[in-house]
Amino acid sequence: MKNTFVIITLLTAGMGITANASDAHKLYIIPANAEGKVEKEGAGYKGQIQMVQDPTDENRYTVSNVAVGNGSFAIYGINEDSGHATFYGSLSWAVTPLPVNYPSPLSIAPDGLTIKLPASGTYDFEFYDRDISGNPYHMLVPRPVNVEPDVKYPEKLYLVTSDDKYVDLDGNPLTGIYQGNVNVPEDFRIPYEPKFDIDAFIFGPTTAADKVVWHDNEKINIAYTKGTDAVFESDSQERESGDSNVAVNLPEGYILINGDVVLGLGDVQAKNSTVKYYNLSGLRLTTPPENGIYIRIEDGRATKQLAR
């Protein structure tokens, strides 16, 4: 049975999407060479590895233990009748390098286009189609098997508004902890791609269907593809500053705004102060603790202090 892939292209005027049918009967991953390019070899490409079609889902393909030596690869399909090859690449608005363990959207791409991963090493890949708001997207999930460094999460998260404006939270792809001292939007969602309406990319509240109101120093539980229709909204309290300390912890599954501990990424200032405080584990504090030993840094000088 012939398998039909729908090639998705992004119209330049925003989020418009158009589809073209293209019969692709075989799908391949091609690890790039040392220069980050793919090399022709005979009728195909050097080092190409054929993906395996799922017998229960003709639009799902997988391949295991692919060595991606320099962190770049290409993916393409071949029409066995015509011999025509179709390469795929990231959409123009999608993040790169591709996040690991989460799906990224693909579209038709120039022949030979390579895609970056956040680390070199061995990966499993899954390719499948997903319907998003009535439009089919190709999705690719790279899953690290043995990579260096040992990345597990996206490099950034975003607080995205309904008109796709956003602020970003820098993070650690090894730990899944993100933070920022940002002007929090009046309402937002939390994806790893800067898109508001695509549930495939969203970490939503686990207990809310439409909206959740956040308050200072309150942990709100979140999870991947949960509560994707819900919107985070601020409470009505007046704030001293337009910026707030935002921390997201994906392994533990929560967002915390203006909490007592800011999770140690970058140079986040405590409100109304140029003094910085840390506990002995290196976690940033917004204020000194009421008791115990902590580190105080001011004008580049660090002192250990005891609060009682």
Which string of b and e fits 284-300 if b means at least 16 CB within 10 Å?
Answer: bbbebeeeeebbeeeee
Q: Output 200 or 25, whichever has higher pLDDT.
A: 200
Q: 304 falls in which pLDDT band (50, 70, 90)?
A: low
Assess whether pLDDT exceeds 80 at residue 132: no
CB proximity list for 33: less than 8 A, separation 6 or greater: 39, 46, 70
User: What are 189-225's pLDDT values in tens digits?
Assistant: 999 999 999 999 999 999 988 899 998 889 999 999 9
Distances (CA, A) of 71 to 15, 37, 49, 270, 305: 29, 11, 16, 38, 45
Q: Which residue has the tokens 């009967």?
A: 25
pLDDT digits (tens, 9 = 90+) for 33-65: 999 999 999 989 999 999 999 999 988 999 999
Is pTM, for the whole model, over 0.75? yes
Please give the full DSSP string across 135-157, using - where no structure is assigned: EEEEEEEEEEEEEES---S-SEE
Select the more confidently predicted residue: 28 or 286.
Answer: 28
Structural domains of the chain, ranges and CATH numbers in brackets: 4-148 (no CATH), 156-268 (2.60.40)
Mean pLDDT of 169-180: 93
What is the band of 19 on the pLDDT scale with cuts at 50, 70, 90?
very low
Check whether 283 has a pLDDT greater than 80: no
Mean pLDDT of the chain: 83
The terminus-to-terminus CA distance of the chain in angstroms comes to 74
Categorize the per-residue pLDDT at 286 as very low, low, confident or very high, splitting at 50, 70 and 90: low
- 218-258: per-residue pLDDT in tens? 999 999 999 999 999 987 655 555 788 999 999 999 999 98
54-101 per-position pLDDT tens digit: 999 988 999 999 999 989 999 999 987 888 889 999 999 999 999 999
Tokens of 210: 């439409």
pLDDT confidence of residue 282 = 57
* Omega cis (within 30) before 205: no
List Cα–Cα distances, 158 to 10, 48, 50, 188, in angstroms.
21, 35, 35, 9
Helices then strands (H, E): number in the chain? 0, 29
Quote the CA–CA distance of 9 and 17 in Å, as a whole number. Answer: 6
Report the pLDDT value the prediction gives residue 1, as an integer from 0 to 100: 41
